[in-house]
């Protein structure tokens, strides 16, 4: 990747995090993928170095940097060979804590944030539901007031790292939809304990195509008790609150996609330089060289979109005039980076020919994982819907 134009802080993050990632070679990630084993040692190494608090305030024990630097961290992790699995082991600790850091009570901040930064607690994000899908405003999980607290009932799905998480940032409906003026009202955000010994909580792991080193889950709540102090911000204003995490997540995921694409492209180019067929390196053939060069151009373009979005996100925290542009930029970045990564990973497999299908060359693992940013946390089609409405003024289609 061309690094001209990045700030000193971003390049410092890239170098420092890269040194940590170098301790976890491709063999580590290959084994953890095949065994579906959580990369506990990797998470602990980043926590020990203080990187889990990269985008959290120094007053809470964080590094006081922004999403721009956090995006670089996530790209560096994915690019090291860790791929989406390595990134997903870390990223909820970054984006899911953004709403908490901004709207949490003094007690929540004092207790929760330091434990997440130190790695003592891991966090997950509980928004998606099986019957709502991308329609976040249609979620059905409820949090009803009971005896000075809340009783949570419902189901969440595709919750990454729930098996190893101590905390969940949970979005639930506290006022029935038919009792609010708009669907976005009546939703509330909580920071809850995932107490497996408490009744009303059940988790079921989902077997999946890629990123097998991190768990994905269905999480079931059945009158699961949550204290009143778990509420983040105002009751009924959870959708506005959670958006601070969603736009950050899109920036981080775009960075992860970039890292995945650059890793695959680098491996493919090296193979094309070394692999000799018909007495010449296969990289001399334009049928090999042009698709890889095209993939590089796509990644470089996506890089510009990604770090533009991250910079806007950071600027919007102190400049309200930029807040409206963040959603468009973050969604555009996620879209372009996901497509560029998929192209690079697919072409890396094809460049390797039959060996691209072999686990030992890693490109098949990255190809499997390249589908993740195309699907999550929002599909390509919904991003295009959003851009059509917000950027082009077209009628809303959903």
- pLDDT of 148 reads 93
Q: Does position 318 have pLDDT exceeding 90, yes or no?
A: no
CB 8 within 8 A of CB 69: no
pLDDT in tens, 233-271: 999 999 999 987 899 999 999 999 999 999 999 999 999
Q: Does position 328 have pLDDT exceeding 90, yes or no?
A: yes
pLDDT in tens, 188-239: 999 999 999 999 999 999 999 999 999 999 999 999 999 999 999 999 999 9
pLDDT in tens, 7-48: 999 999 999 999 999 999 999 999 999 999 999 999 999 999
Q: Which residues contact 196 (CB under 8 A, 6 or more apart)?
A: 203
Give me Rg for the CA atoms of the chain: 21
Q: Residue 144 region, left (φ>0) first, then alpha (ψ -120 to 50), else beta?
A: beta
CATH of domain 123-236: 2.40.110.10
Bridge partners for 191 per DSSP: 169
Owner of token pair 């330091």: 114
pLDDT in tens, 79-123: 999 999 999 999 998 998 999 999 999 999 999 999 999 999 999
Q: Indicate the pLDDT class of residue 4, thresholds 50, 70 and 90.
A: very high
Q: Which residues contact 335 (CB under 8 A, 6 or more apart)?
A: 380, 383, 384, 387
CB 251 within 8 A of CB 305: no
- pLDDT of 264 reads 98
The beta-carbon contacts of 275-284 under 8 Å, at least 24 apart in sequence, are: 282/351
Q: Say which CATH topology domain 239-390 has.
A: Butyryl-CoA Dehydrogenase, subunit A; domain 3 (1.20.140)
Owner of token pair 């690079």: 344
Tokens of 336: 């372009």
Q: Is the pTM of this model over 0.75?
A: yes
pLDDT in tens, 148-169: 999 999 999 999 999 999 999 9
Share of the chain above pLDDT 70, in %: 100
Q: What's the mean pLDDT in 63-81?
A: 97
What class is the 8-117 domain?
mainly alpha
- For the chain, which residues make up each domain, given as ranges? 8-117, 123-236, 239-390
**How many angstroms separate the CA atoms of 39 and 379, rounded?**
27
Q: Indicate the pLDDT class of residue 317, thresholds 50, 70 and 90.
A: confident
- pLDDT of 321 reads 82
Residue 177 C-alpha from the chain's centroid:
29
Alpha helices in the chain (DSSP H): 8-21, 26-35, 40-48, 67-77, 83-88, 91-95, 97-103, 106-117, 238-274, 286-316, 323-352, 363-369, 372-375, 380-390
- pLDDT of 322 reads 85
Cis check for the bond before 377: say yes or no (omega within 30 of 0): yes
pLDDT in tens, 371-392: 999 999 999 999 999 999 999 9
Average the pLDDT over each of 127-131, 240-244, 261-265, 300-304 and give the range with the smallest value.
Answer: 240-244
């Amino acid at each position: 990747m061309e690094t001209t134009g990045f700030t000193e802080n971003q390049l410092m993050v890239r170098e420092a995090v890269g040194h940590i990632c170098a301790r976890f070679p491709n063999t580590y990630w290959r084994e953890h993928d095949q065994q579906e084993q959580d990369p506990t040692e990797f998470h602990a190494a980043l926590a020990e170095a203080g990187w889990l608090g990269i985008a959290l305030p120094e007053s809470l024990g964080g590094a006081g940097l922004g999403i721009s630097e956090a995006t670089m961290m996530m790209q560096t992790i994915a690019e090291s060979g860790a791929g989406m699995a390595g990134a997903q082991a870390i990223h909820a600790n970054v984006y899911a804590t953004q709403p908490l850091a901004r709207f949490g009570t003094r007690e929540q901040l004092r207790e929760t944030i330091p434990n997440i930064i130190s790695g003592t607690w891991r966090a997950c994000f509980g928004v998606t539901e099986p019957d709502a899908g991308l329609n976040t405003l249609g979620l059905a999980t409820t949090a009803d007031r009971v005896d000075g607290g809340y009783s949570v009932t419902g189901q969440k799905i595709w919750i990454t790292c729930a098996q190893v998480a101590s905390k969940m940032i949970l979005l639930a409906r506290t006022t029935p939809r038919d009792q609010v003026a708009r669907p976005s009202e009546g939703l509330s955000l909580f920071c809850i304990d995932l107490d497996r010994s408490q009744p009303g909580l059940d988790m079921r792991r989902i077997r999946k195509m890629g990123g097998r080193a991190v768990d994905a889950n269905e999480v079931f709540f059945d009158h699961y008790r949550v204290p009143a102090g778990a509420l983040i911000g105002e009751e009924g204003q959870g959708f506005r609150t959670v958006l601070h995490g969603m736009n950050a997540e899109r920036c981080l995921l775009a960075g992860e996609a970039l890292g995945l694409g650059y890793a695959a492209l680098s491996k493919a180019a090296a193979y094309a330089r070394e692999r000799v067929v018909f007495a010449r390196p296969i990289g001399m053939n334009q049928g090999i060289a042009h698709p890889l060069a095209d993939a590089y151009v796509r990644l470089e373009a996506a890089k510009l979109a990604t770090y533009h979005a991250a910079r806007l996100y950071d600027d919007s925290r102190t400049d309200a005039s930029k807040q409206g542009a963040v959603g468009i930029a973050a969604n555009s970045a996620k879209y372009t980076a996901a497509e560029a990564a998929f192209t690079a990973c697919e072409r890396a497999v094809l460049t390797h020919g039959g060996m691209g299908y072999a686990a030992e060359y890693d490109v098949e693992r990255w190809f499997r994982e390249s589908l993740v940013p195309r699907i999550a946390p929002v599909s390509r089609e919904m991003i295009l819907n959003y851009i059509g409405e917000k950027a082009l003024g077209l009628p809303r289609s959903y």
